[in-house]
Every structure is written in structure tokens, then in C-alpha cells.
Structure 1
Amino acid sequence: MSKVKNMYKVFISSVQKELQVERKTVKNMIEGDALFNEYFTPYIFEGRKAAKSHSAKKEYMENAAECDVYIGIVGNEYGEKGKDGLSPVEREYNEAKDKCVYIFIKGKKDDAREKETVKFLKRIKDEERGHCYKRFETTEELLEIVRHSLVDYLKTQGDIFKGNFEDRPVKDATLADIDDEKIEWFIKTGTAVKRLKLPAGSKPFDVLKHFELLNNGKPTIAAILLFGKKPQKYFRISEINCAHYPGVENVKPMISQHVYEGTLFDQVDNGAAFVLGAISRAVIQKPGRADFDRPFEIPEFVVEEAITNAIVHRNYALLGSVQLGLFADRLDIWNPGTLMKGMSPDMLKQVHSSRPRNPKIAEVMFRAGYIQKQGTGIAEMMRKCKEKGLPEPEFKLMTSDVLITIGRDIYTDEMMKKADLNERQIEAVKFVKIKGKITNAEYREICHVTDRTALRDLTDLCKKHVFGKKGKTGRNIEYFLNRHKPDKADKK
């Protein structure tokens, strides 16, 4: 686990000589803890030369002012007073009092404390600011309450959270980061598809409350991803990276590439448009009519459902974006994360209970008509692919991703093996997927075979109904995949 970019600064303050051991022990604990050393940088004024010099005082005062967390350890002694009548500890507290303050007091009784120390404790007791005051007897007790306090701090900052990741408040985000127009669009869209019914006159804030997208008044991760003005300001990884390849392998140059940002709705819309704008559309005349149907090569529902599932169910706690690759023979979509516990790729292909990783995001997307509910979306994808004569979508668990593959034709590697095609014929099929056709001369060139072998292989492909051909004899004959065979409507 790598350290977070902006670590929290912890200023540890106490009378130097009296509580030197406690101060160093707390610092060492933070630096040696597997969790805390990822989030906190502790500071103590130890080992500095000329501690009473002007530059030294300036240094520790600046560090106190810049800290995120102030830990004050108070014992019996008040400390040496300066010209202002204050000890260094009280001076440091004054610089940090508007930050997160933890005061740990050694000893259960105040009888042995200096009068100035008792007065200091009374002066700094500020419950309204939310300061924490706890007492301890031993160093072990001190370390225990420091651990609990720092864990509580990380929870309030949203760095560690028991619930779903999407429910965490977004640090530094406010309601000003929410796009009211996007919420108003959501209300209209959800109402139009008859999946959303809110009280008349509902405002954007009411929608956030209704779908539990606020945490202590702050927008949650789900709220920013769904309705944020600039979601990538807080979540750079929230994007869909789309690439269109001319062949069947992930190699450059690409035909086109786009990275789409914005809300999750924007990413779904743009990702689907990228695919649907690139795949083929047949031209089929309707029986007895002058107009035509133009169905997509891959059913539109299948494309949209696959992309939406990847964006809705990905793990937003992981680095990496949703990746979409459109190849000559298939559509691949990778989304960061693994399947939910108890789920398997085979279970996805059946009607199953809905187990969303991000239930709030899934609920909002459902209300807007973007996804199916009750785990029926993938089953519907399977049915539509079958109706189209396409292979079933495949789901694979990778190391840290889920990959869905949707074939653009029936000629998958598995199908070609079942058809008993040799390696030359398989290469020829891949060639035609890219080029659209192949001649005897091209077959000889890419497979390095004689004319007789090429003719035998091509004839076999035609007998197996993998290839069709046009042209009469010799050089005029071109072979193509049966899915590319032009019908009467195309000729018109």
C-alpha cells in the first residue's frame, strides 16, 4: 500500500523534559504502525539545536499552525514562561486550537499539578470546538487512547469506513459541487420511464436526502459520481477509456480512442455511443413495405447493459478506469474489482438475486432506466445475443478485474476448434475479420502454402459454411465470412 499524497500532519506537544518519553513513544508508534504511517506524519521538537533561538521558536510555531491534528500531553509542570507569560505548550495550543485537538492528561488527580497547569487545563477546555480530553496513567494507556483517537479521526475524514465505499463523505466536497441541473434531468428521466415517483416540487437537496446521498450533510462518493459538476476533481479514476482496434489484438495503431469523463450517466451514454457508432448496421427491407430496418451488429441493449454494468458495479476504491476495447471480432469491457462474495461467472448467466457492490449508485441508475433490477439484465443480454445468432457473452475473472467479452460474430476460438479448422484456416478467418475478404493469392501469402493447398483449405472452409465466395473462376474469386455476405437489401 502506497502512502497517500497529502498526509495528515500530527503535532505532538508537551513539556519537553517531563514527558519526553511519552512524546517520543507516541511518535514512534505512529511511524511504526502499518495503518498510521500511511496517513500521518508526526512532528516533535526533539533533537533541535538552539531550541530557544528565534528560528527554532518560529519553526515549531509554524508546524503547530500547519498541523491537521494536535496532540497535547499534559503532566504536572506548566513549562517555562516566555515574555508573553505563556509556556511553549500553551503557545502551540493557541496556534492549533481550531484544528482537531486531543488533550491527554497524565494522572487521574490534579493535586500534584502546578497551579498554572491547572489554570491552563481550564482555559483550554472547549467542548464546543469538539476537543477530546482523556486521562492516562501509563505509557501503554496513552498509546491505546492515541490509537483510538487517530482511528476516529480517519473515520471522520472518510479515509476508513465500515460501510460501503460509496457512502463515504467526500473530503472537501460541499453541496456547491452538486449539479442541480443534472438532478433535475434525473427527475424528468426517472418520471418519464415510470420508475421514479417523488413528492411534487421536490428539489435537488430532497433527491439527495431521499436516496441517502448525504453523510452528515456532506455529499457522498455516490452523490459526486452521479451528480457532481466535476466528479474527476475528486475521483480521477472515474472514467471510461474506449479504444477501437482494426484487428483482433490489442496493438497500435488504433482506429480511434476516447476517454470519457463526467458523471456516471455521461460515461454510459458516451461509451455506448462510441461502440454503436463504430459497429455495422444491416439494411433490411421490411416485408411488403418501402422502409428499412437497420439493426446493429450487436444488439443495442447488449452494448448498453454491458457498459452500464461495468460502470455501476466496478470497485471505485481501486485505481484504474473502466476499459473498453472494440476489436474486429469482439467487444471487450474490463472493470476494476472482482465479483461480489458468493457470485461466479456461471451464476451471472442465470437469473439471480441482485447483489450490487454500490447499491446507492445502482438504485439511482435503475430509477433513471439505465439498468434492470432483480439480476435480469445479463440474462436478457444472453437471450438477445442468441436471437441475433451471436455467441453468449463470456465473463472472466482476471487478477483484479472482471472481463466481459461480446462476440461480433460466431467465429470464436472455441467455435473454430470445434469446427476442426487448422491453424492456417484460423489465421485466414482472422484476416477476413479485419479485411472483409480474402483471395487465393492472399491466402498463399499469409499462410506460405502452394496454390493447391490454399484451394483445398478454402474449399473446406466453404463446405463448413465458414466462408462464402463470390466470383466465378480464378483471380476473380473472393472469399468472405458468411456474416458479411450481402443480401438483396444490401445490393439495392
Structure 2
Amino acid sequence: MLLNEDHFNDVKSKRILPAKLQETFVAFANSDGGDLYVGIEDKAHTGERVVGFGEQEEANAIVSTLLEETQPAVENVSIEFLDTDGKGLVLHIGIPKSPKVHYTASGDCFIRINAQKRKIKGERITQLGYSKGAEPYERKPVADVELQEIAQSEELADYMRRVSTHLEPTIFLRKQRLLTSHDGTRIPNVGCVLLFDEEPQATLETRCAVKVYRLRTTEKEYKREQLEEMPVTINGGTEEVIRKTIDQVVKYIDGAAFRDGGKLVKLRYPAEALKEILVNAVIHRDYSLNDDIHVRIFDNRIEVQSPGKLPGYMSLDNLYEERFSRNPNLVRMLHNLPNPVNHDIGEGLDTAKNELKKAGLVEPIFEEKDNAFLVTIKHQRIASVEEVVLSYLEENPGTEITNKLVRQLSGEDDMQKVKLALQKLRAAGHIVPLDENASAFNFRYVKA
């Protein structure tokens, strides 16, 4: 069994104390999850890499400590024993990324950094809770703003009018969980300021504006001289920031073009896809981090970078399936408006992907970089159905292809469009049917 210890994998001797192993277990759960293998020795010390358990019961103390004494308990942990051909059983523990902050039985908190665990305390634990969404930063009290200042703001009055409420403003704010107790009194919290303060960027301790850049380059890295003009900084309440950002991005894109070889290509992106990705960046970012959202419009792509990695149990692998909101109050308040800027949680990315597909562009690319989430929308055409068929047959000599398989490979769910593409390839002499007399639904093709 060959395993490298890294950010997502660790190996331990079966002789390790359960309490010591719990530190690594907690570190994985508090970070990005990972796999822990117990029963693998340091070869430099023993000369033998795998020295497993003789029977499963030998690991009972370890399993009990990890599952029953971690506070709070880590959910959806997988436990299995791997047979190693006479070298004993290796205990494999699959630890998911958790939406909670976890502690060992002794009350210590750890995170995983590369191939090591690190103990954290105080403010660093608080920050971990914010980044996970376990402790919403939007509910942190803001001592520098007066309640009456928010209660009398035009932004709040306009919102209350649109949602048709006749409550007194301070009662409305309290019922919407936009006030947090501080020194015995309720004061506006971060979410309240983001929504209804005239200038949240001046009030809050952290930066929360959006910067939009237009860059005349296709390179991955850009230089200052490639800026068409100085970045536009967009301030204001959350709803205003969203609308102004969308307008500014559309302004930069409208009429913009670049040369692809000798051909002039106009930048065309579906408005709805851009909107959804920009809205997601504003409402799901980590407001505890001292950075703005950066929207960079290149000659061949758009990059939207928002502060904070994915919250809770969200990962790059489950973005389209799972749902988790780092700022639930912010999301809910915006969604309660008539014609809200945001869809239900998670639906925005689905919409963006589908709109890009309709426009013939590839899906957005998602990345986690340092302490930020980056979405890249490429000005790249999706391969045609014909190109998908020819590429598949070229890469898989001697294989056959069907209408159903083509739909799976290309993502084109229109059976008739795929049929026409296959007929076009057949007429051009690129493919031939295995059986000329097969029924229309059973045609199978091979490369000519």
C-alpha cells in the first residue's frame, strides 16, 4: 500500500494513542476532509510499511474515541477495514468536510495545512466558524452604527414598501434577525448594514465593494498597462451593488471584441448567466475577509473572484447538487422582494450553466484559490455534435456509437438534433451503419 501524506491523506501506526489520532481526525473535519489510514508504520523505524490490526476489535478504542468523543460529532464518517494480504487489517476512515467547527475530547481545535495539523485558538477559531458558515458573520453586531440611523434610512423604507409591511422599522429589523445583542442592547448586525446602510463599505471593518476591470489581454497573468482604464469600484447596499455591477460588466462587454487568429470575434455572453454568477459572488462571499470581489473582463474570458472558500460541506464536486448558504439572512431578505435578484439557493449556478450551453459556450470553471472562490467564464464554443462523434471514434478505434451515447457525450439532449448530426456525418462518408436494416431507434455507427 503506497500512500503519500498530503492535505487530504494521512497514515498512522496502529500503536497511536486514540486521543492523539483524534487531533488529525478533527483537523480533517475542520478543513477540506480527507482519508486517514491506521495500520501503516514509518518504514524508517520498522522496516515494514504495513503492520495492520489482527482483528477489527483491536481498533474499537480508536473508533469509539473518534466517533463518540469528538465535539460535536462529525457526521457521515465512513469506517472500513482493508485486507492487506497477510499484513493485517488497515483501518480506513473517510472524513467529510464538515459545516461545523469540531474539537477533541480535551477541547482543542485543529486544522489541516498541507500534510500537517495545526492547533488554533481564539480569533482563529472564530474565523474558522465564519468561513464554514457555522457562525454567520452577517449576525456579528456593528457597534459603529446607530440603530435609528438604519431605521430611518431610505434603503430600509424602500424595502419595507416593496414587501408591503406596516411594522415599525425597529420591530421589522428585530423580527428579521437583523439586530444582535451587544452590551445588553440590540444593535444592527453586519447583514443589516449590508442591506440598509447608505454606505456599508465605510461602516464595516472589512472591505465589501466590487472592483470591475477591463483587460486587453488573453494571458493568465496580466500587467497594469493592460488595463483599458482604472478599475471601477462599486459601493452601496447589497442590492445596489449587484445591479451596478451587472450594468458595468455589460457596459464593458458590449461592443468589445478580440482577434482569434485572423478572425475578429465579438464577446458575447448570455446576460442571465453573467447575472447569476455575479449575484452568487455578492450574496455568498465571506464578508469576514478583508477583500473586495474582483470581476476581470479579459479578451477571451471573464473571471469573478469572491473572498472565501466554499462554505460548510460544499466542494467543487457537489456544487450543482448540494445547497448551503454562508449568509442565510442576506439571501432570504433579497429573495423576499418582488422580482428578486437571486434564485433559490443553488439554482443560480444551474441557470448559469444552462444559459451558457444554450449560447453554445462551455460550462463555467470553478476553482478554490488561496482563500477565494474563482469562477471563469470562457469565450469558448462547445464542440459541435459532429466533432464529439468524430473525436470519440478517433480515440476509441473499433468501437460503435449510438444516438443515446452521443447525447451522453455531448450533453445535447435533443434526440432529433443528434440524429441529424449522425446523418450529416454518414452523408459525408465519415461513419457507416453496422446494420442498414436496423430500426430507426437501433442504429449503430462505426468509423468509415
What TM-score do you get using the length of structure 2 for normalisation? 0.48
Greater relative CO (CA pairs within 8 A, separation 6+): 2
Higher helix share: 1
Determine which structure has more spread, i.e. the larger CA radius of gyration: 1
